[in-house]
Structure formats: structure tokens, C-alpha cells
Amino acid sequence: MFEALAEAKPDAILGLTEAFKKDSNPDKINLSVGVYKDSSGVTPIFRAVKEAEKRLIQDEKTKGYLAINGSEEYGRAVQTLLFGEGHEILSFGRGATAHTPGGTGGLRVASDFIVRMFPGKKIWISDPTWANHPNIFSAAGLEIETYPYFDPSNNGLDFSSMIAALRRIPSGDVVLLHGCCHNPTGIDPTLDQWKEIGDVVEEKGLLPLVDFAYQGLADGLKDDAAGFLNLCRPGQEMLVASSFSKNFGLYNERVGALTLVGADSESANKAMGHIKTVIRCNYSNPPFHGAGIVTTVLNDPALYKDWDSEVAEMRARINGMRKLFVETLAAKGVGRDFSFITGQRGMFSFSGLTKDQVERLKNEYAIYIVGSGRINVAGMTESNMDRLCEAIKSVL
């Protein structure tokens, strides 16, 4: 039976890393998947993570199953990071969190929950969005619609089209919003625009699903939550899929969460019961280690402080690379103005390179970037910058 199968299409992002690994060019550069590299090109393990791991190994007494939705301690720590200490969602117990394998796991659980409990509701996603969003939602059986987001004429947010489209979404449908560092464009709404989005969501009775995978990579851990907090209004329901892959560097531990916010604590608990049903027939219950690390760091003031400073170092290096990228292109005499890249936030630069140019970078220079022209700035280093910019100049 397997012999008769057609070849599967490689994944738009992770498939490139597979191809990169097979590439024998010694000067190859992988700027596809959103993984942070330090100035020497290594994806480091955070100091706070190493310390938390030591404590976990020392103190661990059992390998018994976690609850279907993970530990309560982890859930509380996740909610405090998302909404902030003392937020009414926490004090009224309106939030309920399931620990999921990565943010992707959180998105899939959310999709299964929506399909099962609210059949016929559609999900509205930004155009463009993370290449894996449509895969996840359609695999769960959700019908997908898009709303406009990016304006190529000024490399900015097309807010008037976006908000007009959101106003036309039928009540009860789900709208996917990126919490910060929009993937792939790196362009986020301003706080005023977030407020307007919150008004439309409330007036129209939409269910926001916030994908929050990059908290801390734009302006800071607290500042990056300020936008989506405009959606957190009394009685407003919401789903948030969050991830610790990037801001803790815990990529291979697959640690994330799905947090639901109910109108009150009773309905939140009821909804969590259905989320648990969805999880039980998928992966049963989550793996402990990554969540153990995150809980240890978030609950220890000294480790938290160290972690916060490591996230700040990461942010500063990425922003430094943005600047150097734009300067190096200009210094090489590239005529096109790439200065908009320094205004984009998070790991990615939405470069405006065409599919053909992206293909040429791969085939002629062994430089791997995503087909949409998205470049992982967090993978640039001082030593690969010259070769990268020279290659971009020649494909332009």
C-alpha cells in the first residue's frame, strides 16, 4: 500500500531545514526556521534553564503521569506571564490552562475543541500568516477564511482593510491574532489599533484565538503582552496558544500552553473539561520536563530576573543584526531601500524577495529562506552577513 503513495510535499519551513542538512556546501546558511542563534551561530541553552534543570534532576521523586491538562502550578505561572500579576482574569479565576506540546500543540487542541464544540464556526486568519496555520486548522476540520493584513506598497500594516474585514466576520466565528512579532511580517498593530480590534471583537461577539509564540522578543516580556491585553475585557471569552520555544530556547522540549478565558470561572472550568477530552484522545497528557523548567524559572525571582536579562540580550542581538543587515546591503550598493526591516519586530524580516529570488539564493548560494521571502534575522551573524548580502545583491 505504501509503495503506491505519491511523494509528500516537504513542509514549507521545516522541510527547508531538512534540505539544508543535506546540502554539502561548506558556506551554507540556514535562515529559514525561526530558531535563535548567538553571535557564534549556536542555539544556546539559557543559564536559567540549566540551573532549573539541575534543581529538577535533584528534586525529582517520580515519573508518574501529569494530569491531562498538566500541573496547576504551571497553569498559574503561564497565566501570570500572559495577563500579569493581579489581572482580573486571575483574581476571578476566569482562566484555565492546559499544558500542551509546544504552541503548535496548543493551536491544534484549540482547533479540535472548536470543531467539536462549535461546529460550523469558521476561523479567520491574517493574509499572510505562519505557513503552518492553515495546515493545523484544516487538519482539525476547521473552515478557513482570511482577512487582509500586509500592505506591500509601504511594507506596513493595512489596518483600515483589516479592521473593515474584521467588522464583517459573523458573530461567533473565531479570529486568529498574533500576540506580537507577527509571523511572517514582523509588523504588529499599535496599542491604539489593538484597542480598536478589541472593540470590534467585543461588539461583534467574536472568539479571539491569540497565537503568542514570541513574548519578549519585540520590546520586553511585559510590553509585548500590552497589545493583546486590550482584548481581555470583563466577560470576554478568548483562547491563547503560547509557546516557550523561543523565549526560553526550549525548542526540542515542546513546551507550550492553551489558555482559555471564560466569562466566569464556572464556564472556564466547564470548557476546560472539554479541552481535556480533546487532549485525552490525542496525546493523553503532556510531557513533564520542559514545563518543569519553565515553572521553576517563573516561580523563582532570581532565576526569573536572569531569564528576563537573557531574553533582553537575545532581543538586542536580533535588533543589532537587523541594523547591520540593512547597512551591509546599502554599503554593497543595493539600490532598493530596505530600511523598513529595522522597524519589523521579532525574529523575522519580511524582505520582499520573490519566490524566484528565494529559489536562486538556495540553488546558487546555499542560502535557505522561506518561500514568502521571510528571513530569520535571529540566524544572521557578523560572519555570515557579508556573504548573505552579496548573494541578495546578485539575485536582485
Positions that interact with ligand LMR (CB under 6 A) = 13, 33-34, 130, 132, 183
CA atoms within 13 A of residue 32's CA, in its CB half-sphere: 25
Exactly one of 158, 246, 307, 362 is catalytic; which is it? 246
- For the question of residue 276 being annotated catalytic, the response is no
Which three cell numbers, joined as nine digits, stand for 104? 503548535
Answer for the pair 111, 90: CB distance below 8 angstroms, yes or no: no
- Those residues whose C-beta lies under 8 Å from the C-beta of residue 7, and which sit 6 or more positions away, are none
Residue type, position 278, single letter: V
- For the question of residue 130 being annotated catalytic, the response is yes
Q: Which is nearer to ligand LMR, 74 or 130 (CB)?
A: 130
Answer for the pair 254, 290: CB distance below 8 angstroms, yes or no: yes
CB of 256 to ligand LMR, least distance (A): 11
Exactly one of 112, 124, 130, 173 is catalytic; which is it? 130
CA 378 to chain centre: 14
Q: Which is nearer to ligand LMR, 33 or 77 (CB)?
A: 33
Q: What Rg value do the Cα atoms of the chain yield, rounded?
A: 21
CB of 11 to ligand LMR, least distance (A): 8
Q: Which is nearer to ligand LMR, 132 or 394 (CB)?
A: 132
- For the question of residue 211 being annotated catalytic, the response is yes
Catalytic residue positions, numbered: 130, 211, 246
